């Protein structure tokens, strides 16, 4: 969010009176193009001027300026590099060249170019310690310090900022980059109070509100700008992103379609951004074709590719994309946490789980994120990994209204409820989940079965088992049903489960469980808590075992049945 200057720092600002007079005669149409932000038109005019033999250094400077504002930083860089090789080079060219390098991600080269202009500026000098007083130089070095994570230089350049609009905008952008969104909003609003015609600042404010998850507020602020410039790629893209958050991907895609139909001069600048966002709006469709080439162009491309791999259960690919990245933004910390948590659970690695817990705690405990929805989710995840489920529920309860139909949220929320012993609510939340993938997951089935049993609906738990194919997971579910039903006094289904377990694995413990469950059902029949007809099933279950104790138990049950006229044969 470097300031887009109304005029470049090069030639035009330092022309002689004769040149100024000549410019007024030659470039009135150019000024019109620039005022309307039609840099393609301005570029065409300047290119014609140069090709017709009427070009000059000033023409080259304006061409570089247009290239820069069209987003073609490479072409702008080449123009400034040519100018920098001339004998009477304006020192401000170095700073402009540094800005091009900056936008191309060539940060060391940007710093070198910026420092070449130190002390040579045509209108400002250098401090004794070598720090620039040229405001553009200082702003460029300020941003470079942020890129290099050099806090000492960052603070030094911060101190050189003046109470002028350009410097304050630069400070606001650094606040934004450091996720200090409210501080950035405060600066923008303060400037807007005295400069209502600076409409573009509304886009910056809207972007900050978007980052704070206030999507409806972001839309309201953004509308002020779009009323005047309805063809802005950046503004329309942000509007689409708000629609994605407020509604769905289809609504967001419709907004981007409007931008594509307009084919405005600003569209070229944002083509990569639009391609990237269409992948997101379409739920990852085309991710492997679109996102990899954009990883070093759009910062979010790497993160969204990681999310795509996670959704495909390709945890290793997700991990490989992030393992060498040192997180600097909340989103990067969160994704590092999610990937490490997934890898830790997949591999049974305590180290990865600990790393994940630390990342979640860093985000959730930070001043900038603690009251945001992602921040609270991070604290919930942190406590989830620490198995402190009462604390998990405190944070999830605070954001549940935002995720009523979110299957992943409900999956975690229900597990936390169940672990904390709130089985009735947990069952209700589990039943909200629509994803077939989650509903076929063993963890889901086992927790839902436990909720059924704890809520005295053992028959439903048994039906879950009957729907499963024979496997290690179905055997585990059978063990859970047998033990939980026995513990809850639902002896009929405990007996059925122990009976199947015993036939699959003749373990003495399963016979003991079955025996106890059968006797328990018999007691419930005598007490009138179970239908008498159930006794016939219990006798058949007992006959499936060749243990000597069976005959004695059957004899006792049959005698009672005979005395009480209960048919069992």
Domain identity same for 128 and 210: no
pLDDT(122) > 60: no
Q: How many CB atoms lie within 10 A of CB 437?
A: 11
Amino acid 264: pLDDT = 52
Where does a domain end: 356, 382, 398?
398
Lowest mean pLDDT among 134-138, 288-292, 481-485: 134-138
pLDDT(413) > 50: yes
Q: Which two three-digit tokens encode residue 546? A: 């060749």
Amino acid 5: pLDDT = 38
pLDDT one-digit tens code per residue, 198-232? 999 999 999 999 988 899 999 999 999 999 998 88
In a domain, 364, yes or no: yes
- Sequence-separated (6 or more) residues with CB below 8 Å from residue 529: none
pLDDT(6) > 50: no
- Sequence-separated (6 or more) residues with CB below 8 Å from residue 25: none
Looking at the structure of the chain, the number of domains it has is: 4
pLDDT(436) > 80: yes
Lowest mean pLDDT among 31-35, 39-43, 162-166: 31-35
Return d(Cα 565, Cα 169) in angstroms, integer: 92
Domain identity same for 206 and 170: no
Q: How confident is the model at residue 316 (pLDDT cuts 50, 70, 90)?
A: very high
Domain identity same for 365 and 264: no
In a domain, 443, yes or no: no
In a domain, 425, yes or no: no
Q: Which two three-digit tokens encode residue 198? A: 């600076």
Domain membership of residue 538 as a residue range: 491-569
Amino acid 9: pLDDT = 43
Indicate the pTM of the whole model.
Answer: 0.71
403 secondary structure, DSSP code = -
Amino acid 124: pLDDT = 45
Q: How many CB atoms lie within 10 A of CB 20?
A: 10
SS3 label, residue 567: coil
pLDDT(519) > 50: yes
- Sequence-separated (6 or more) residues with CB below 8 Å from residue 567: 536, 561
- Sequence-separated (6 or more) residues with CB below 8 Å from residue 417: 393, 423, 425, 426, 429
pLDDT(275) > 50: yes
Where does a domain end: 147, 175, 203?
175
């Amino acid at each position: 969010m470097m300031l887009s200057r109304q005029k470049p720092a090069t030639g035009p600002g330092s022309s002689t009176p004769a040149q100024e007079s000549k410019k007024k005669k030659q470039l009135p149409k150019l000024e019109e193009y620039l005022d309307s932000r039609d840099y393609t038109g301005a570029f065409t005019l300047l290119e014609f001027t140069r090709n017709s033999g009427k070009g000059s250094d000033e023409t080259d400077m304006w061409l570089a300026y247009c290239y820069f504002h069209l987003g073609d930083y490479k072409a702008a860089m080449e123009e400034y590099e040519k100018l920098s090789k001339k004998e009477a080079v304006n020192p401000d060219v170095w700073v402009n060249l540094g800005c091009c390098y900056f936008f191309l991600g060539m940060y060391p080269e940007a710093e070198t170019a910026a420092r070449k202009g130190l002390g040579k500026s045509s209108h400002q000098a250098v401090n004794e310690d070598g720090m620039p007083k040229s405001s553009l130089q200082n702003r460029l070095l300020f941003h470079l310090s942020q890129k290099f994570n050099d806090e000492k230089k960052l603070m030094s350049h911060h101190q050189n900022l003046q109470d002028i609009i350009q410097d304050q905008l630069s400070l606001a952008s650094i606040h934004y980059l450091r996720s200090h969104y409210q501080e950035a909003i405060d600066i923008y609003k303060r400037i807007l109070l005295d400069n209502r015609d600076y409409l573009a600042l509304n886009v910056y404010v809207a972007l900050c509100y978007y980052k704070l998850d206030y999507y409806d507020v972001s839309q309201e602020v953004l509308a002020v700008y779009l009323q005047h410039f309805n063809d802005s790629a950046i503004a329309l893209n942000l509007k689409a992103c708000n629609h994605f958050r407020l509604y769905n991907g289809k609504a967001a895609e419709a907004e981007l379609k409007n931008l594509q139909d307009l084919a405005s001069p600003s569209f070229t600048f944002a083509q990569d951004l639009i391609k990237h966002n269409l992948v997101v709006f379409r739920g990852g469709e085309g991710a492997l074709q679109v996102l990899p080439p954009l990883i070093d162009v759009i910062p979010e491309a790497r993160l969204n590719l990681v999310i795509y791999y996670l959704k495909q259960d390709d945890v290793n690919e997700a991990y490989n994309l992030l393992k060498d990245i040192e997180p600097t933004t909340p989103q990067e910390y969160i994704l590092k946490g999610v990937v490490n948590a997934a890898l830790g659970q997949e591999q049974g690695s305590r180290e990865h789980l600990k790393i994940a817990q630390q990342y979640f705690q860093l985000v959730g405990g930070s001043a900038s994120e603690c009251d945001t929805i992602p921040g609270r989710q991070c604290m919930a995840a942190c406590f989830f990994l620490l198995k402190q489920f009462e604390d998990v529920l405190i944070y999830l309860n605070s954001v549940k209204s935002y995720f009523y139909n979110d299957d992943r949220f409900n999956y975690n929320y229900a597990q936390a409820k169940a672990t904390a012993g709130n089985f009735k609510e947990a069952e209700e939340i589990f039943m909200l989940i629509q994803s077939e993938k989650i509903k076929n997951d063993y963890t889901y089935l086992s927790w839902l079965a436990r909720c059924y049993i704890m809520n005295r609906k053992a028959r439903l738990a048994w039906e879950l088992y009957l729907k499963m194919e024979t496997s290690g997971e179905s055997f585990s579910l059978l063990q859970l049903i047998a033990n939980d039903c026995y513990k809850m006094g639902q002896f009929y289904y405990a007996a059925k489960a122990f009976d199947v377990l015993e036939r699959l694995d003749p373990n003495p413990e399963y016979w003991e469980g079955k025996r106890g469950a059968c006797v328990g059902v018999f007691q419930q029949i005598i007490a009138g808590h179970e239908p008498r007809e159930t006794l016939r099933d219990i006798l058949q279950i007992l006959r499936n075992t060749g243990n000597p104790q069976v005959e004695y138990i059957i004899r006792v049950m049959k005698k009672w049945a005979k005395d009480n006229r209960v048919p069992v044969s």
